[in-house]
Amino acid sequence: MEVLPTSSPVFMVHRREPEFIAPSKPTPHEFKYLSDIDDRKGHRFHFPAIFFYPSKTDDASTASTCKGKDPVDVIRKALAKVLVFYYPLAGRLREAPGDKLIVECTGEGIMFIEADADVCLNRLGGGDALKPPFPCLEELLYVPPGYQDFLNSPLLFIQVTRLICGGFIFGVQFNHTIFGGPGLGRFMIALGEIVRGEVSPSIPPAWQRHILNARDPPQVTFDHREYDATMSDNNTLPLLIPQEIDYRYFFFTGKEEGALRAQLPVHLQACSAFELLTACLWRCRTVALGSDPKARVRVVMAVDTRWKIKPPLPAGYYGNTMVYPAAVSTTEKLSRNPFGFAVDLVKKAKNEVNGEYIRSTADLMATKGRPIISTEGTYFVSDVRKTPDEMIDLGWGKELYGGCAIDNQCATLWMSSFYMSYRNNKGDEGILVPVGLPRLAMNKFVVEIQSMTMIKPSVQGLHPKTSQLTSLIYRKSAL
């Protein structure tokens, strides 16, 4: 795979002046409260996502409906139409008493940037499939100066960048209090339907954020270890800066999954692939970092509760529904116990999540000042794998990549990993996981992974100075 440098631009982007896109028809002027899950302090920032589209698709079942048309013009017009249905997104956030957030539906619109880049998609992906970290990401996502404040600013910043090969890149930065990844996906699906000629979204958007407000009176019924401010005075895990970190990909298929499952007692062998992989990465990372044996460490998992809430949320609900359960251990216990110990901790933490868990989280937000998840001794994991049905057709076929917009300058990438569906050049399918660690710790991490899987991996360095290639393999399995 070609590894493009991230320290200097490899292509140039020319942007037009930003413009506002308002709903194409009049919309109500009203005030809409966010839920207590939405407006937690940890959501008060703009989250970046990016989608890459070729000039045409080779898949006849998703043949392009917009071939030969200008993607900027098509998407600009479709955005104005879809905002009629998602009209709160054209408003602005306001603060209310009690640290609550409200959307004033002003109809001012979202911010749109038209751009052109002197690069082809195949240069961004080389001979391999597209995957983060992406070069020159700051050229493909844009928030103009003066709009960094999450209050009183547009709720979406969208840049559509034409490529010289005829493809394009859809970059978006969205206010995380309005929705998370699943909510963005719902909006993007609706946008794609409008692009392809539908007059309205097939699933009408639903606000109804009151469903996930704190109860009266609040009842915090779980421990919520993810919000523990300080777990141990002896914790020695360092807060590192990105320049000190070595980033690499790890690719897992069924062969390694089988090796990991073989180490588990019978009662744990039916664990999900997510639980298996999370326990393995958490354990190997903890050993590699070599913190104080008595220090507490945790893995925090992003878990969607949408399908666990009763009564069910409306089909078109696009608010935040994620919770973040944590598995906690000391370094000594996690590293010295059999692998099943880590799997059992992860499985129990994840299985705690139900409809009551998200309601308990809402109650915690309302009663404890909307705390932020502690980063002390914490490793974050998120499963962003997609099925073909979840991919988004904006009229040019489904994306080559769609999801987190990550580059090597991301200050928190060393603390987190996300799981992506991936197929390599040989046709092997599995899960690709970026991991960031200090260089010496990364070397230890690779040794630990080799030992856990009993396979010699090949390692692919994310850092431009890394020439080795690592590959660990894994078959997709239901979460």
- From 43, 46, 176, 224, active-site residue: 176
CA–CA gap between residue 241 and residue 412 (Å, rounded):
9
Whether the Cβ atoms of residue 113 and residue 15 lie closer than 8 Å to each other: yes
CA–CA gap between residue 400 and residue 125 (Å, rounded):
10
pLDDT tens by residue, 138-181: 889 998 888 878 888 999 999 999 999 899 999 999 999 999 99
What's the mean per-residue pLDDT of the chain?
A: 84
Q: What is the pTM of this model?
A: 0.86
pLDDT tens by residue, 17-38: 999 999 999 999 999 999 999 9
- From 38, 344, 393, 407, active-site residue: 393
Q: How confident is the model at residue 50 (pLDDT cuts 50, 70, 90)?
A: very high
C-alpha dist (Å) from residue 127 to 68, 252, 343? 26, 19, 36
Q: How confident is the model at residue 478 (pLDDT cuts 50, 70, 90)?
A: very low
3-state secondary structure of 180: coil
pLDDT tens by residue, 179-190: 999 999 999 999
- Higher-pLDDT residue of 4 and 310 is 310
Least confident residue range of 92-96, 150-154, 218-222: 150-154
In this structure, is the dihedral angle defined by the CA atoms of residues 196, 125, 442 and 406, taken in order, positive or negative? negative
Strand order in the sheet with 296-301: 245-252, 429-438, 416-423, 378-383, 296-301, 326-330
Give residue 374's pLDDT. Answer: 82
- Higher-pLDDT residue of 414 and 46 is 46
Specify which residues 383 forms β-bridges with. Answer: 419
3-state secondary structure of 42: helix
Instruction: Please enumerate in sequence order all residues whose Cβ is within 8 A of that of 135, keeping only pairs 6 or more positions apart, or say none.
Output: 4, 5, 6, 9, 10, 11, 124, 407
Residue 9, token pair as written in the block = 């631009």
Q: How confident is the model at residue 94 (pLDDT cuts 50, 70, 90)?
A: very high
CA–CA gap between residue 278 and residue 343 (Å, rounded):
8
Least confident residue range of 121-135, 214-228, 247-261, 346-360: 121-135
Q: What is the mean pLDDT of residues 108-112?
A: 97
Domains of the chain, earliest start first: 13-212 (3.30.559.10), 225-231+241-453 (3.30.559.10)
Give residue 131's pLDDT. Answer: 72
- Higher-pLDDT residue of 10 and 361 is 361
% of the chain with per-residue pLDDT over 70: 84
Per-residue exposure over 445-455, b if at least 16 CB sit within 10 Å of its own CB, e if not: bbebbbebbee
Q: Would you call the peptide bond into 133 cis, given omega within 30 degrees of 0 as the criterion?
A: yes
pLDDT tens by residue, 225-246: 998 864 444 443 444 454 577 8
Q: How confident is the model at residue 407 (pLDDT cuts 50, 70, 90)?
A: low
Q: How confident is the model at residue 466 (pLDDT cuts 50, 70, 90)?
A: very low
CA–CA gap between residue 303 and residue 148 (Å, rounded):
28
Position 432 pLDDT exceeds 90: no
Amino acid present at 337? N
CA–CA gap between residue 320 and residue 169 (Å, rounded):
25
Give residue 146's pLDDT. Answer: 83
Position 128 pLDDT exceeds 70: no
Radius of gyration of the chain (CA): 22
In this structure, is the dihedral angle defined by the CA atoms of residues 476, 477, 478 and 479, taken in order, positive or negative? negative
Least confident residue range of 223-232, 306-315, 411-420: 223-232
Give residue 247's pLDDT. Answer: 81
Strands 322-323 and 303-304, how do they pair?
A: antiparallel
pLDDT tens by residue, 391-400: 899 999 988 8
Q: What is the mean pLDDT of residues 58-69?
A: 59
Of 178, 181, 182, 205, residue with least CA distance to 194: 205
Strands 429-438 and 19-21, how do they pair?
A: unpaired
36 HSE (CA, 13 A, CB side): 23
Give residue 380's pLDDT. Answer: 95
Q: What is the mean pLDDT of residues 301-324?
A: 94
Q: What is the mean pLDDT of residues 459-476?
A: 37
Give residue 384's pLDDT. Answer: 87
CA–CA gap between residue 85 and residue 87 (Å, rounded):
6
29 is catalytic: no
Of 298, 250, 145, 316, residue with least CA distance to 470: 250
Q: How confident is the model at residue 85 (pLDDT cuts 50, 70, 90)?
A: very high
Whether the Cβ atoms of residue 434 and residue 418 lie closer than 8 Å to each other: yes
Residue 473, token pair as written in the block = 């393999």
CA–CA gap between residue 45 and residue 37 (Å, rounded):
14
Position 279 pLDDT exceeds 70: yes
Spacing of C-alpha 136 from chain mean position: 19
Of 204, 189, 106, residue with least CA distance to 155: 106
Give residue 457's pLDDT. Answer: 44
Residue 125, token pair as written in the block = 């992906």
CA–CA gap between residue 131 and residue 124 (Å, rounded):
9
Residue 46, token pair as written in the block = 């703009």
pLDDT tens by residue, 335-379: 999 999 999 999 999 999 999 999 999 999 999 999 988 888 899
Per-residue exposure over 3-27, b if at least 16 CB sit within 10 Å of its own CB, e if not: bbebeeeebebeeeebeebbbeeeb
Q: How confident is the model at residue 460 (pLDDT cuts 50, 70, 90)?
A: very low
Specify which residues 31 forms β-bridges with. Answer: 104
Of 77, 48, 289, residue with least CA distance to 173: 48
393 is catalytic: yes
Give residue 445's pLDDT. Answer: 94
Whether the Cβ atoms of residue 437 and residue 400 lie closer than 8 Å to each other: no
Q: How confident is the model at residue 195 (pLDDT cuts 50, 70, 90)?
A: very high
Least confident residue range of 56-60, 93-97, 326-330, 363-367: 56-60
